[in-house]
A and B are shown apart, each in its own frame.
Chain A
Amino acid sequence: MKLVTAVVQPHRLDDVKTALEGAGVRGMTVSEASGYGRQKGHTEVYRGAEYTVDLVPKVRVEVLVTDADVTAVTEAIVGAAQTGKIGDGKVWVVPVEDVARVRTGEHGDAAL
């Protein structure tokens, strides 16, 4: 099993969700995030005082998948989130030792 985590532009979230559903993903966790990469931040001016806001809003999508589905899910996210501009975000994959479904007590792939 793998955990696929994607940090993407907030306005791509709907397309990412649709693409994930198309790839057979049945559940995900979405949370608001903030950060920066090469995009860096932006400046805001309040009564003449300039502030550099280096953290910009992002959305974090987390999906648990079987080993077999990893490539398809990753590519689905990349395809849906991509605009080609700096700030599109990142997707990464880490191994997961075990997963339990709380309602039934199932473990492993059966719990996904």
Chain B
Amino acid sequence: MEPVLDTGVSAWMLVSASFVLLMTPGLALFYGGMVRGKSVLNMMMMSFGAMAVVGVIYVLWGWSMSYGASLGGIVGNPFDQFGLGGSFDPVALLDDEGTRYMPTIVDVGFQATFAIITVALISGAIADRARFGTWLVFAGLWATLAYFPMAHMVWSGGLLSDGGPFVFGDAAPIDFAGGTVVHINAGVAALVLALIVGRRKGFGTEPMRPHNLPLVMLGAALLWFGWFGFNAGSAYATDEGAGLAWVNTTTATAAAILGWLLVEKLRDGAATSLGAASGVVAGLVAITPAAGDVSPVGAIVVGAVAGVLSAFAVGLKYKLGYDDSLDVVGVHLVSGLWGTVSLGFLATGTGLFYGGGFNQLAVQVIIALIAVVFSAVVTLVIGYVLKVTMGWRVPEETEVSGIDLAVHGETAYENSGSTITEAR
């Protein structure tokens, strides 16, 4: 029997892809509000730059390296479906019986948006000080060498999937929407890059408070909205599983806000808007790998713990001395690790708390560690090569006067009058 086009699922996946694409401008607002007013445009441009670079390379070799013919379970062959040609199959079956399908090109769009946001996430670690050209080259290299292979390993039957070696009994690796591929990957890259690029001038001594908290709140809200495409879309269905992912996404995020605010109230004396916005992202990160495999009550635990952990983790950079400017490590790496490992306890059926023993926990710890090591090594190589070739830092005087004017020839806010001297 010929497979039938599932219009419902195809429509939902197109909408989900659009949701996820919106997350990157949302991230630009979230990050942009957190930096100083003199560098907000550069911060937002790093997200838009990631959209530009990865949006192009995804159709050239990104899809093929993620879902093309496997090279040892590590990465897809970039030439297998280069430019969406070659052995590209336009029909993506949705069930094992092969009765329903959606056009593969819809999945290409959906997956491209994931690659874009993952690269953009890293930019928060090197705010205010990175050369824009170096960032664009990094975006292309990192997507190619770190993101596409990780997507292949986890989601295309590779090393870290249920088709790989890490299946213990009935416990196979679980990464529903990208705990390893997206958040651990980006979080580790952020830490490595923050170390390679170095601290901002005045880090820890000069005030660098967020310049516009309403922008941060708006960005967090857009991220939450877009995340419904990210998580519920990752069900590749319009069924109970998608509904569960949607509810878990909201429940965990709500619990993470409460967790983060509780820490702030007890430790700092006030529940802040920045804390609420940060809690939103921590909860979303943590539930990402787990959205389809925990109960809504389990999601409360996943989210609440994430909010508390990340609220404490964001202070580590001052103690350890690395300038992860916007806490990509504290939020994405820490909550990404927790979310991935939490499945060992809370996965319905195989988790420790459901009588499944330690197998799932062992599997989750192993895939998390492999993701950490892989991302660290690849990012270290790319980051170091760019440091000695193109260079990462803008001149010190540019950093002080503001990267927006020096690099982009613009300022975000008008503080003095201007005169038109030439109209083109």
Q: Which residues of A contact B (CB under 8 A)?
A: 44-51
Contacts and interface: CB of A to CB of B under 8 A. Distances in A.
Interface stretch (B48-56, B73-81, B266-274, B406-414): B266-274
Given A51-B207, A51-B209, A45 B318 contact: no
A44 B213 CA distance: 13
B162 interface: no
Classify the secondary structure of A's interface with B: strand
A46 B209 contact: yes
A26 to B, nearest CB: 31
Contacts of A48: 267-268, 311, 314-315, 318
A44 B314 contact: no
B315 A46 contact: no
Nearest to A48: B315
A49 B318 contact: yes
Interface in B135-153: none
Given A51-B207, A51-B209, A46 B318 contact: no
A53 to B, nearest CB: 9
Contacts of A45: 264, 268-270, 272
Interface in B192-212: 207, 209-210
Interface in B255-285: 264, 267-270, 272, 274-275, 278
B175 interface: no
Contacts of B274: 46-47
Given A45-B269, A48-B315, 7 more contacts: A44-B209, A46-B209, A46-B210, A46-B274, A49-B318, A51-B207, A51-B209
18 contacts: A44-B209, A45-B264, A45-B269, A46-B209, A46-B210, A46-B272, A47-B274, A47-B275, A47-B278, A47-B314, A47-B327, A47-B330, A48-B311, A48-B318, A49-B209, A49-B318, A50-B268, A51-B209
Top 10 nearest A-B pairs (CB, nearest first) are: A48-B315, A45-B268, A47-B314, A46-B209, A51-B209, A51-B207, A46-B274, A48-B314, A46-B210, A47-B274
A45 B264 CA distance: 9
A34 to B, nearest CB: 15
Contacts of B267: 48
A49 B326 CA distance: 12
B272 to A, nearest CB: 7
A78 to B, nearest CB: 34
A49 to B, nearest CB: 7
A79 B330 CA distance: 52
A46 B268 CA distance: 9
Residue from A45, A46, A51 whose CB has the most chain B CB atoms within 10 Å: A46
A50 B311 CA distance: 14
Nearest to A50: B268
A70 B207 CA distance: 42
A47 B318 CA distance: 11
Residue from A45, A48, A50 whose CB has the most chain B CB atoms within 10 Å: A48
Contacts of B209: 44, 46, 49, 51
Contacts of B311: 48
A50 B314 CA distance: 13
A51 B209 CA distance: 8
A49 B207 CA distance: 10
Contacts of A44: 209
